[in-house]
Copies of this chain bind each other. A is one copy, B any other.
Amino acid sequence: MKRIGVFTSGGDAPGMNACIRAVVRGAVYHGVEVFGIRRGYSGMIAGDVYKMESHSVSNIVQRGGTILKSARSKEFMTPEGRKKAYDNLIDLGIEGLVAIGGNGTFTGAMIFCNEYGIPTVGAPGTIDNDLYGTDYTIGFDTAVNTALDAIDRIRDTASSHDRIFFIEVMGRDSGYIAVQSGIAGGAELVMVPEVLTPISEVVEILKQGWSRSKSSSIIIVAEGDEEGSAQEVADKIKVQVDENADIRVTTLGHTQRGGQPSAYDRILASRLGLGAVEGLIAGQKSVMAGIVNNDLVYTPFEDTIRLPKPISEDLLRMVKILSV
């Protein structure tokens, strides 16, 4: 393999730049040329591509976002779009790809490889940590710390006013951010998509807290919880507890996607970027590089896409014990 491309796709995540850097420097180290493709599959179709050198990735390891930009491409879902992308890659002599993104990204890459034989190795870049085949995804640790910083701030004001706070964190299909930030933030309860927490149980826990003279409480709600958004949960609670209870809602939103990546995410991104490019050079295709039990492993895209990543029972049990 003489020449490869690298791109980011889907929602951006802190650490993507550290991953791009590792791909580029890993390629340079192994004597392989590397091209940056802007805006994911859109740029591949448009030919928005440039040669990257070692210095192209200087001073980006600490930056949030992605210097290659990211986008979702409807056109790549069509055979015509993929044909254009293929023609561009052939013109440029690009023989393999590193894709930094999530399952949507990997699905596209798998189809593309089946159709045109261009191999792709993926690196898991998403704050949601919802990908089978790696213990953690790039951006997750930073997102948890960002959510935690907000929880710490809100605890200040919750304690000052004897308030109940419902805080909504990201995670449409996954409660990982909610559970980890909830444990770390000392939350009274965490509501996640994976486990049903009936409103009656929330009310019960709040009342138990009051009976032990807890004057303020924090409840973390993953955006994908079955009982609805944090606002909806709060509205349901409001009618069942003391109507004078001072209940507030905060939705953390897109702040969780940005910020300087944590040490953990930069190291993880570096390992996975290097692992992806070295896997590609070694002949891997349609696999995602991941870290499982501290070891670098390659998991077929079809497994990362198909298989669920259940949340740890231990962590869910811990939330209960620690809020005693």
Residues of chain A touching chain B, judged by Cβ–Cβ distance below 8 Å, are: 8, 12, 14, 18, 21-22, 25-26, 28-29, 54-55, 59, 61-66, 69-71, 135, 141, 144-146, 148-150, 152-157, 159-162, 165, 180-181, 183-186, 212-213, 248-260, 262-264, 266-267, 270-271, 274, 293-294, 296, 314-315, 318, 321-324
Is the pair B29, A274 in contact by a Cβ cutoff of 8 Å?
A: no
Is the pair A157, B61 in contact by a Cβ cutoff of 8 Å?
A: no
Q: Give 13 new A-B contacts, CB below 8 A, not counting A61-B186, A71-B161.
A: A8-B160, A12-B160, A22-B321, A29-B321, A61-B184, A62-B185, A69-B159, A71-B162, A141-B263, A145-B262, A146-B153, A153-B258, A251-B251
Is the pair B70, A26 in contact by a Cβ cutoff of 8 Å?
A: no
What 8 pairs across the A-B complex have the smallest Cβ distances?
A153-B258, A64-B156, A156-B258, A65-B156, A293-B293, A184-B266, A12-B160, A65-B160
Q: Nearest-CB distance from A68 to chain B (Å)? A: 9
Find the B residue at minimum CB distance from A18: B184
Bound-state Cα–Cα, A154 to B293, Å: 32
Q: Nearest-CB distance from A127 to chain B (Å)? A: 10
29 pairs, CB–CB < 8 Å, chain A vs chain B: A21-B322, A22-B321, A22-B322, A25-B321, A25-B322, A63-B156, A65-B155, A69-B160, A70-B161, A144-B263, A148-B263, A149-B259, A152-B259, A154-B254, A154-B255, A154-B257, A156-B257, A157-B258, A180-B267, A181-B263, A183-B266, A183-B267, A184-B270, A248-B254, A250-B253, A250-B255, A252-B255, A262-B262, A271-B314
